[in-house]
Amino acid sequence: MSIESGHRTETVSPSTGPLPGQRYAARAEGVSKVYGSGETRVTALDGVDAGFVRGELTAVMGPSGSGKSTLMQCVAGLDRVTEGRVWIGEQELTGLPERALTELRRDRVGFVFQSFNLLPTLNAKENITLPADLAGRTLDTDWVEQVIDTLGLRPRLAHRPGELSGGQQQRVACARALVGRPELILADEPTGNLDSRAAGEVLGLLRRSVDDLGQTIALVTHDPAAAAHADRVLFLLDGRVVTTLRAPSAPDVLETMAGLEQDALGSASAAGEDTRETGR
């Protein structure tokens, strides 16, 4: 039961954190998520406690159906929890009305998804400033320019997504997330559709924005090489956080994952995300 002990030592203890907003950019406490009811009832998250430390890159790993995407969607305010509580900074999300949740997402969370990150009718620059434009907020121009230059997007600003490579599109998505200086950036499999060189670029970029800019990032991935860029890695299995590694190497991650998958094979079911409606 070494896994269990690791779980206990590293995750937040809800009752003890005196000012959690100072240490954690985002935090989940006893979060459960249940889809459907009766025979089709699926428990995607089962009492998860997790915290995302400010100024760190936290990776969330786990086999398919472990609940890692669900956890991140709940933490980022994309989805609502069935039970438990969630905070972004000091703001509790649970019970927040729809409109307030939308505005919180817009103003305090940045997103980078696996695919389909950009609006096809807007050019790169317009995509980068979209959340601010939707909010009617003016961005810090110097900061925007700095981000654009850092990400090497200056020559591409007038291009539409259709005219950009996958790596370039993902860099535009990163820029969109960064320019708002959000509390938390959620990157959900951001390298899933990229070749290894482009993936390396994007991961390096995320690492630098943590190191140089003090950004907090949550990275959902199942690629051990990607997870190796993280300060901490949370491992999920069957809707629970089962272990945590600190600044691991890729082989460490690989080994832990292999152990988890052994467990998964042994367990009765591996439901979770796969049963969700995924469109056509």
Partner 1 sequence: MRTMLRVAARSVAASKARMTLSVVVVALGVGFVVATLVLSATINAAFTGLFTSGAADVTASPRAAFAVEVEDQAISGSVPTLPTDAVDAVSRTPGVAAAHGEVATQDVTVVDAAGQPVGPESGAPTLGYNWYLRAHPIATLTAGHAPAGPGQVVLDAPSAVAAHLDLGSPVRLVTPAATTGATLVGLAASAGTNPGVGLVFLDTPTAQTALLGQPGRFTAVTADAAPGVDDAALAPAVARALGSAVDVATREQQASSAAARVASFLSTVTYALLGVAAVALLVGSFLIVNTFTMLVAGRMRELGLLRAVGARRGQVTAMVLGEAVLVGLLGAAVGLGAGLGLCAVLEAVLRGLGIDLSAVGLVVPGYTAPAAFLLGIGVTVAAASGPARRAGRAAPTEVLRESAAPTETGTGRGRVLVGGAVLLVAAGALLTAALLTPRTGDLLLGGGLFALGAAASLVALVLLGPALARLVVAALATAYPRLFGAVGRLAHGNAVRAPRRTATTAAALTVGVALVTSLGILASSLDTSITAQVSSGLGADYVLSGRGGQPLPPQVTDAVRAVPGVASVTRQRYAPAGFRGAQVSLSGVDTATLDAATAPQYVAGDTGALARGQLDVDQASALADGLTIGSPVHLTFVDGTPADLTVGAISKPPPGGGKDGSTFQVSLDTLARYQPLAKDFSLSLLAAPGAAAGLGPALHQALAGDPQVSIQNRADHQNALRGQVDLVLELLYGLLALAVVVAVLGVINTLALSVVERRREIGLLRAVGATRAQIRTMVRLEALAVSLHGTVVGLVLGFGWGAAGQRLLTGYGVTTLSVPWATVAALAVGAVLVGLLAAVGPARRAARADVLTGLAAT
78 binds partner 1 (CB under 8 A): yes
Distance, in Å, from the CA atom of 20 to the CA atom of 91, rounded to the nearest integer, reads 11
261 binds partner 1 (CB under 8 A): no
Q: Which of 39, 142, 212, 277 binds partner 1 (CB under 8 A)?
A: 277
What is the nearest approach in angstroms of partner 1 to the Cβ of residue 278?
4
Which strands make up the sheet holding 232-237, listed edge to edge?
A: 109-112, 184-188, 217-220, 57-61, 232-237, 240-246
Q: Which of 64, 95, 116, 246 binds partner 1 (CB under 8 A)?
A: 116
Residues numbered 155-174 forming contacts with partner 1, rule: CB under 8 A: 161-162
Binding track over 171-210 against partner 1, x by CB under 8 A: -----x----------------x-----------------
Q: Which of 5, 41, 134, 267 binds partner 1 (CB under 8 A)?
A: 134
What is the nearest approach in angstroms of partner 1 to the Cβ of residue 64?
11
222 binds partner 1 (CB under 8 A): no
Residue whose CB is less far from partner 1, 99 or 197: 99
Contacts of 60 (CB under 8 A, 6+ apart): 50, 68, 71, 72, 218, 219, 220, 221, 233, 234, 236
Distance, in Å, from the CA atom of 229 to the CA atom of 227, rounded to the nearest integer, reads 5
Q: Where are the beta strands (DSSP E) in 91-249?
A: 91-92, 109-112, 184-188, 217-220, 232-237, 240-246
